[in-house]
Structure 1
Amino acid sequence: MASRCPVSAGSVRRGGMRDNPPEKEASPETGDSMTDVRFATIGTSAITERFVAALAEVPGTRYVAAYSRDLSRAKEFGESRGATLAFDDLNALAASDQVDAVYVASPNGAHARQASLLAQGGKHVLVEKAFASNEREATEAFARAHESGVVCMEAMRNLHTPGFHNVAANLARVGRVSQATFRYGKVTSRIAKLRAGEHVNQFDPALSEGGLMDIGVYAVEPAIALFGRPERVSASLLTIPLPWEPEPSGAKIDLAGSVVLSYPRAIVDLNYSKVANDFYGAQVAGDAGTLMWEQTNCPADLRFVPYEDKGMVYSAAGGKAEVIPANMPDNDMTCEVATFVDAINGDVDALGRVAFCERVTVGSLAVMDEARRQAGIRFPADDAR
């Protein structure tokens, strides 16, 4: 059994650096800690359940509120998990003095608008992937957060794990990178409904959804995190017309795809699918060796195979493989939560990480914007100004 992420989130000093955690002060009215970051959630799906479970493992956090457009649903979700507040009004949540931070897990199309409103209300915001509908929306939402002086970060969990930290730390060992591959594919349980002509939120362009935004993003973001923005994007996406529309409208959505990112001396292949299981992992290859891991969406133990010149051989051959282990948590969302909370505390390293992740988020959305453009997929948010 893997241990939880070795988090370092401590007690909160609003607007300052984190000290060693002091004894918690208790409210005379409730007896609750007054130093924890008090979290609310937007959304009642399985990913929100997993987030609340992660909060319970990260020191210096407390789950206090749930939001849903249906107040009874918010109460049911929150109260069963220890929250004492429920909201069905986003403005009221943004104005609440009993909430410090909000985890946003609504449909993609609502992310940027909700994040901006909450940030303007002084709330720190952790936004589920994909952070926004497009690059423009993301840039505007981050600008609102900067103006308000709050922490705003995308909940891209695979970038915050010990496994991915090991990838970045060992990248130089491969030498000059020439190729990299990031893959993630799994059959969605909702595909049967989609093929039956039913409306499925996860494939609705009106909600800024689709295969690339839902699952392809797990391949895009590690590439941007490791190599930066590419010079060119070449995309080939598997698309279908929207099956629930009675008359052809020209609107379509993607189920799977392949995206090639071109750099001055390297090519990076990205592959994703919601209609097929992909059992290949990820690798970065260079003239000094190859770094590999099994799951792009959750990098854990790595393998590094150094290059060795073995003369004329007719297959790939290298030196002895080295395993680089990672102490992975059972719930890998604890890692992103720990980074986010440390940044709220004012930890310099965490704030630097948040700034880096902002650049990755915006750059990744630029890549996905271009891939969608080449495939003829448009979201309503693309036309909004």
Structure 2
Amino acid sequence: MNFGTVGTSWITESFIEAAKDTADMRLAAVYSRSEQKAKQFIEKHGGSNIFTDVEAMAKSKLIDCVYIASPNALHYEHAITFLKHRKHVICEKPMFSNTKELESAYQIAEENGVFLVEAMRNVYMPNLVTLKEKMEKAGQLRNIVFNYAKYSSRYDAVLNGEEPNIFSLQYSGGALVDLGVYPIAAAIFLFGEPEHVSYSPVIIRTGVDGCGTLVLSYSDFMCTIFCSKISTSYNSSEIQGEKGTFTIDDIGSIANISFIDNHTGQKQQIANEHPEKDMFYEIDQIVQMIKTNNKAEYKKRKQLSADVLNITETVRRENGIVYQND
């Protein structure tokens, strides 16, 4: 499939480089509000067509699908533009600001016979599937702790009195929707929907959560998620059961997983590192889903995205974190 991109940040560059390793994706067009930036971007990554108008790009026959990595608050506007012109949309997480946008966009996708998929890389990792298959080794689950805390270079700008998009209510930012969605998605993938959720955020000057602790309550165990963009954690994530504990080095990439037996203390390697281009897995599986018109898999991916967004929207509203898009 020929694809275009909306957004010229590092995440778009990572997507393009990973797509080069697939047999079915070819970069055909790049959009940027700045013609100069679009030219520089396409010269660096290949392709031959640039656009400075989203509508014109959506109408173009040059592309079959688009990868959207614009600021969070613009995802909905950009996605529906392409969906209405019958282009498949792969949208970087968090796909939308709220469930209202999500439901509307999925309806438009259905009306136009195209796919709308969230790019949430960790739930496409083979290692996460392996972990789920081996979960019984831990026995009865009792406590899960997922960490995803990484100091953002953009927080320096906040400290200097500025308001970068990722720390802005206007652009649907904050730690939970930027980093917290990874462990939330992993938890739902592994354990299903929780019975109850609660969030204790640290609200920074711009009005968004700089960090926070989310608790997902299940019938017989708890899952505690710590996410932060204003500090860094070097701790691994853990799934603790009565028989043993799984350790996960990075809940965002699921690169290395070990299991430690509670009685013997023996440590077993469950999964090894992924290649550097870890976005390859999501791209490859999404493309195959589209090519084969796999509606069953599409339904599962839609539900996962809806479940994650429902949690983030619920807890941020409970804590007075209200976006402009709301």
Superposition TM-score tier, normalisation by shorter sequence:
over 0.9
What letter is aligned with 1:341? V
Residue 64 (structure 1) aligned to one of 28, 34, 56 = 28
User: Is the CA contact (8 Å cut-off) linking 1:187 and 1:273 kept in structure 2?
Assistant: yes
Equivalent-residue separation in structure 1 for 2:87 and 2:252 (angstroms): 28
* 2:102 match: 138
The whole-number CA distance in structure 2 between the counterparts of 1:238 and 1:69 is 34
Q: How much has 1:58 moved relative to structure 2?
A: 0.9
What does residue range 256-267 of structure 1 map to in structure 2 within 5 Å? 256-267=211-222
Q: State the match for 1:371 in structure 2.
A: 315
CA distance in 2, matches of 1:290, 1:352: 32
Q: For residue 40 of structure 1, report the CA deviation from its aligned partner.
A: 0.2
For normalisation by structure 2, the TM-score amounts to 0.95
Task: Specify the code of the residue in structure 2 equivalent to 1:346.
Answer: T
Quote the offset at 1:229 in angstroms.
2.1
Instruction: Give distance in 1, aligned partners of 2:3 and 2:272.
Output: 28
Displacement, 1:152? 1.6
Structure 1's consecutive aligned runs of 4 or more residues displaced over 6 angstroms after TM superposition are none
Larger Rg: 1
Please, which moves more after superposition, 360-369 or 174-183?
174-183
Residues 162-218 of structure 1, C-alpha deviation per residue, up to 9 Å, x if partnerless? Answer: 222222221232222222111111111112210110121110110111111111212
> What does residue 127 of structure 2 align with?
163
CA distance in 2, matches of 1:362, 1:136: 10
d(CA) in 2 for partners of 1:358, 1:171: 24
Distance (whole Å) between structure 1 residues aligned to residue 241 and residue 99 of structure 2: 31
Query: Quick check: 1:127 aligned with 2:91?
Result: yes
How is 1:262-277 mapped onto 2 (pairs within 5 angstroms)? Answer: 262-277=217-232
Partners of 2:313 and 2:188 lie apart in 1 by: 14
Number of equivalenced pairs: 326
Write out per-residue CA displacement over residues 58-77 of structure 1, whole angstroms, 9 at most, x where no aligned residue: 11111010011223322321
What secondary structure does 1:381 align onto?
coil
Q: In structure 2, what is the equivalent of residue 33 of structure 1?
A: none
Report if the CA contact (8 A) 2:131-2:270 is conserved.
Answer: no
Gaps spanning 5+ residues in structure 2: where? none
SS at the partner of 1:206? Answer: coil
1:70-109 CA distance string (max 9 Å, x none): 2332232123321111112222121111100100000111
Residues in 2 aligned to 1:89 and 1:369: alpha-carbon distance in whole angstroms: 31
| Cα distance between partner residues in 2 of 1:140 and 1:59 | 32
Residue aligning to 1:334: 280
Cα distance in 2 for residues equivalent to 1:289 and 1:136:
41
Shift of 1:117: 2.0
Aligned partner of 2:156 in structure 1 is: 192
Residue identity over aligned pairs, in percent, reads 33
> Secondary structure at the residue paired with 2:325?
helix
1:39 corresponding residue in structure 2: 3
User: Is contact 1:164-1:299 (8 Å) kept?
Assistant: yes
Counterpart among 250, 261, 264 of residue 306 in structure 1: 261
Q: 1:292 aligns with which of 247, 250, 264?
A: 247
Relative distance call for 1:194 and 1:337 in structure 2 (3 A) is: same
Deviations 1:246-302, CA, capped at 9 Å, x for gaps: xxxxxx111000010112222110101111110112122222322221111111221
**Match among 177, 193, 201 for residue 237 of structure 1:** 201
Aligned equivalent of 1:245: none
User: Do 2:148 and 2:179's aligned partners in 1 also have CA atoms closer than 8 Å?
Assistant: yes
> Match of 2:235?
280
Aligned residues of 1:184 and 1:215 also touching (Cα < 8 A): yes
The 3-state SS of whatever aligns with 2:170 is helix
Q: Is the partner of 2:232 in helix, strand or coil?
A: coil
Q: Determine the structure 2 residue equivalent to 1:202.
A: 166
Give the root-mean-square deviation of aligned CA atoms.
1.6
| Alignment partners' CA distance in 2, 1:320 and 1:199 | 48
- Identify the match of residue 300 of structure 2 among 356, 361, 364: 356
Once the two structures are superposed, residues 122-157 of structure 1 have per-residue CA deviations (whole angstroms, 9 ceiling, x without a partner) of 111110011110122122212222222212211111
Q: Which secondary structure state, in structure 1, belongs to the residue aligned with residue 194 of structure 2?
A: coil
**Higher mean C-alpha deviation, range 199-208 or range 172-181:** 172-181
In 2, are the aligned partners of 1:135 and 1:363 still within 8 Å (CA)? no
Bigger RCO of structures 1 and 2 (CA < 8 A, at least 6 apart):
1
Contact 2:176–2:312 at 8 Å: present in 1 too? Answer: yes
